Structure 1
Amino acid sequence: MQLRPLGASGLAVSPIGLGTMAWGRDVDWPTARDLLRLFVAEGGNLIDTAPAYGAGVAEKMIGKALAGGIPREDLVIATKAGFVVRGGRRVIDTSRGALLDDLEQSLRRLRTDHVDLWQVHAWGDAPIEETLSALDTAVSRGMARYVGVSNFVGWQSATAATWQAADRTRTPLASVQVEYSLLARRAEVEIVGAATHHGLGILAWSGLGRGVLSGKYRGGRVPKSSRAAAEHFSWFVEPYLQPRSGAIVDALAHAAQGLGMSPVQVALLWVRDAPQVASALVGPRTTEQLAELLETQRRQLVAPIVAALDDISGGPNAARG
């Protein structure tokens, strides 16, 4: 893959990133190992994880892969902090102490002395200056090379980026991670503009619409092996099993048929090459699914197809102009 700069930073990432949210639940260790090997063999380097993914199991799998021979220098490991599972409950704690504790535990699970990108997983109740001071500390201690934010809305992203840029002793933000797909274009309202202004690369999570853009749920079907049928992931998929989503999926399938591609390939290309996107994060559960997505490496969508998909999914994207 031809790597891209992450915003205005010097970090280079693959335009497709490997997400690990399902690792430890729907993806077992042998499959995770094979996914990572295939991804690296095809030139991918960005692997996105978090302590909340499988309650730390996803990070442990990455660490096991590193111990098993995957070269550390081949990976850009991105993890997060501030959103963890404690006592079976999801907790958002963006205080300085909690963030740094999360990072220390992540490094142990990952079996590495640093992460390439460390992100605040969500906006919390702690003062933003306290939260961001943890990022500076992590970089100064060599625990993280670059820092970013995740799931911040536009004003939150701009506030964080402005605070860091106000003092040269602070570490500039490199990225903002946000959900972005044909089914979720809210990022275009403010986040894309904030990212462009502040030089942040966008990491687009769930670029395949939480799996709905595959077309597997067309006609009201819910395959037994799908995330919508799983008790622990049905809540995640349900918001997109609506009539509006069905119209978008149908249009995507029609476009894909005309292009000789699959719906997920077209959906991935649309988000991968959208303005300000540095990498589109995908979460395949099998090597076959990953191979299908990696086939898009040398393909692009022509402008009329992009415009048609924009129109059907919410209207023109002003940032494309």
Structure 2
Amino acid sequence: MELRQLGRTGLHVSALGLGTMTWGRDTDEIDAAEQLREFVAAGGTLVDTAASYGDGDSESVLGEILRGAVDRRDVQICTKAGVRRSSSGTVVDASRAGLLDSLDASLTRLGTDHVDLFLVQCPDPSTPLVETVSALRHAVTSGRARYVGLSNHTAWQTARAATLLEASGDAELAAVEVEYSLLERGIEREVVPAADELGTGVLAWSPLGRGVLTGKYRHALPADSRGASPHLSGFVETYLDRASSGVVEAVATAADGLGRAPLEVALAWLLARDVASAIVGARTPAQLRASIAALDLELPAAVLHALDDVSAPTLGYPEAR
């Protein structure tokens, strides 16, 4: 598997990242271990998790696997903090104490003394960005994290955080992790240009449009799919609309013409963009194998252009005039 440089850092990550959002809930430890073994055997390195995934269960499962089935030295762990559950519901907390306490708990669950990449999961409107960035800087200087970044933040927040970290001289904004697929290209308006200018790597989550770009929802709602899951149906429903359907049909048409699966075409399109890694969240080992199979597909220019056109994001002032 190709290793790609993460922005202008010295870190190189696998073109496919392994997402673990379902681990400990929809994916048991046996299937998770099989996924990780096959991922590493295929040359994969980047494993993406978060303290909020299953209230820490995802990290706990990953930690158990790294104590036995897979060597910690063979993977790069990316974890996220800033979202937690409380008695009153989900809480966004990107304060210095919140982030560092969460990171310490993550390290305990993962059974390691550091993560390779530590991200703030989403913006916290109640915490000044300068405080959030100070926690990222401390994560690096204390040895808890090798690199740091943001997830689901705007371009101005990304630029401000990068500027603050650069001024400190101790750390840099290595990555932004954002949703990116043929069904969600909004980051191309400002986040991608900002990342390019700042030398920050882009990690794409949900590169298969939350599973919709596989084509599994074209004619029905499979009973064993995320779309039929009580805790993930709302996550998928976003792309079960008329606009998304046109893109899905274009992907299916391209796949038929190339003799490949829609999933492979969707991933190949994204991997041809300026991204360091596409993070695929496979629920089963078979789903992961299907994603790995896309790595040898290089789309013809005509197909790339056609998919670009059918999925083009709406631009307006000031991005386009």
| TM-score normalised to structure 1 length | 0.95
Give yes or no for contact 2:186–2:313 (8 Å, CA) kept in 1.
Answer: no
Tell me the equivalent position of 1:253. Answer: 252
* Deviation, structure 1 residue 315: 6.0
Counterpart-to-counterpart distance in 1, 2:113 and 2:33: 21
Are 2:290 and 1:292 equivalent residues in the alignment? yes
Moved more, 287-296 or 109-118: 287-296
Tell me the equivalent position of 2:117. Answer: 117
* Deviation, structure 1 residue 154: 1.3
Are 2:302 and 1:301 equivalent residues in the alignment? no
Are 2:236 and 1:273 equivalent residues in the alignment? no
Counterpart-to-counterpart distance in 2, 1:300 and 1:21: 28
Q: Please give the per-residue CA displacement for 1:205-237, whole angstroms capped at 9, x wherever unaligned.
A: 000000000111113x11110111111001101
Write the letter of the residue equivalent to 2:279: L
Tell me the equivalent position of 1:103. Answer: 103
List gaps (5 residues or longer) in structure 1.
Answer: none
* Deviation, structure 1 residue 285: 1.1
Q: Write out aligned runs for 1:15-30 (5 A).
A: 15-30=15-30
* Deviation, structure 1 residue 153: 1.3
2:277 alignment partner, SS class: strand
Counterpart-to-counterpart distance in 2, 1:139 and 1:130: 15
Counterpart-to-counterpart distance in 2, 1:299 and 1:7: 24
Counterpart-to-counterpart distance in 1, 2:307 and 2:69: 42
Moved more, 294-303 or 183-192: 294-303
Counterpart-to-counterpart distance in 2, 1:99 and 1:147: 12
Q: Please give the per-residue CA displacement for 1:237-277, whole angstroms capped at 9, x wherever unaligned.
A: 111000111111011000011111100111011112212x0
Write the letter of the residue equivalent to 1:40: V
2:116 alignment partner, SS class: strand
* Deviation, structure 1 residue 46: 0.3
Tell me the equivalent position of 2:174. Answer: 174
Write the letter of the residue equivalent to 1:209: G
List gaps (5 residues or longer) in structure 2.
Answer: 316-321
Tell me the equivalent position of 2:318. Answer: none
Are 2:150 and 1:149 equivalent residues in the alignment? yes
Tell me the equivalent position of 1:93. Answer: 93
Q: Write out aligned runs for 1:1-321 (5 A).
A: 1-87=1-87, 89-124=89-124, 125-168=126-169, 170-219=170-219, 221-275=220-274, 277-314=275-312
Question: Identity of paired residues, percent?
Answer: 51
2:203 alignment partner, SS class: strand
Counterpart-to-counterpart distance in 1, 2:314 and 2:256: 23
1:166 alignment partner, SS class: helix
Q: CA RMSD in A?
A: 1.4
Give yes or no for contact 1:310–1:316 (8 Å, CA) kept in 2.
Answer: no
**How many residues get paired?**
314
| TM-score normalised to structure 2 length | 0.95
Write the letter of the residue equivalent to 2:213: L
Runs of 4+ in 1 over 4 A off after TM superposition: none
Counterpart-to-counterpart distance in 1, 2:313 and 2:110: 42
